[in-house]
Structure 1
């Protein structure tokens, strides 16, 4: 047993410190002030911070919208839109209650990526002719944000935020991330474009003739919003969620005028947002490559020093 050590107040306590103040196992002991501060921090329940609670509510709304997505466009669009609009509330709550956390930032980004991906997956199934485009958008969105987040953590430091983009790296991304109005407008209109495309899936002017139950109806060119053709899905398809039943449910369920206006109005912003995603991917790749060159140069210097 190692000899007892003396506190600053002169009392004797048992311990394993060496004369130089280091523990016998060679690991330095953290100062008492740091240990007390660490204990105070662990008492806070980060998961119950107000911004994170808003994030959980967004996830619940998103799951509910997915449940209504195949057959109920109005309910799905309403729930999905509320979930997207709440994206601005968590940032306001974080600043108001001084509860900005790394967990909250990651939760916000992951929720955004997952909700958009789920909607694009549905569009891929509803519009198979354009599925490759939707799959490309999913891949670009995930790759761009992952590369940007990883480059920020790897090159910018542990405490660096992915929204802190200097104007020297990219003045466009600097304006995009630092101006809250610009960021909200781009994100909101980008989601509005895909929501409008989703609504257009329920305003098709024609039904596939093979899905019509009789030859007389098969000769019919289609339906109209005034007299939609809606036979009982159970008579045609075993499952109401089959591809055929979904097409029957989508055909002429709503007028296409409003979805077309929303689609055309938000399309320019959506295209700019995708260009920003490409730019973000390129800049993150260049930043990581810069770090690789610095590491290789450092390793080469050390190898030369050892060889001397």
Structure 2
């Protein structure tokens, strides 16, 4: 089985999405890929357990992608071996009334992981430079002092948001959070196939919404916004990774491999040792318990 390398996917220079592949060949059958993913999931769970005891780092994993890109199933399969105490997933939907009374980053700040934990943002703060850029009328709900109409939303506004997001991520990174940002790069043809599967299988109908087709018509606009966002916010401390997403098992394995290969470089993440006086008395403590 081919072993993918982080550098194949990390965005370190200006990119054009149309030049990035939505497929990747691991040269292996699906069952073997899934078996190897299970092994990686267990290794990641071991790292998370050590992180929980260590208490110095947190992990923030951000997932973005077009509808049907496989975000939910990726989370389920990559993290199924984790202890639930050490991981939490947030799916950011339409902002609530309370959230709209704060700045757009507020709800993401309060969802950040504590040190020792993993947090997954399933759709992220980047919705604020993606969906709202394609649909600038949504910004009117934010009731910002300097934005009174869509005409007030210019390029300077978006540049300001990119700077705010970069500052947010730098602050988070500087304070012990390891950031991963995954763009699940799905082809338009594969999205069509997945939408059709939702319609053709009655048990999958609930996943379909007519809004999916409306958003699909805006495919090119979304691609342009993704490209701009990735180019302006892929930083050393918070890199973007392009994940070919046309094949779900392959995408899941690549994400897990990137997480594992990165986290294992943090050789200071380890369980704390007992104090010397406690360690010296381990045999005594064992005997005390055995004699009860």
Same fold (TM over 0.5): no
**Which structure shows the bigger proportion of residues in strand conformation?**
2
> Which one has the largest radius of gyration?
1
The normalised TM-score by structure 1 is 0.23
The normalised TM-score by structure 2 is 0.24
**Which structure shows the bigger proportion of residues in helix conformation?**
1
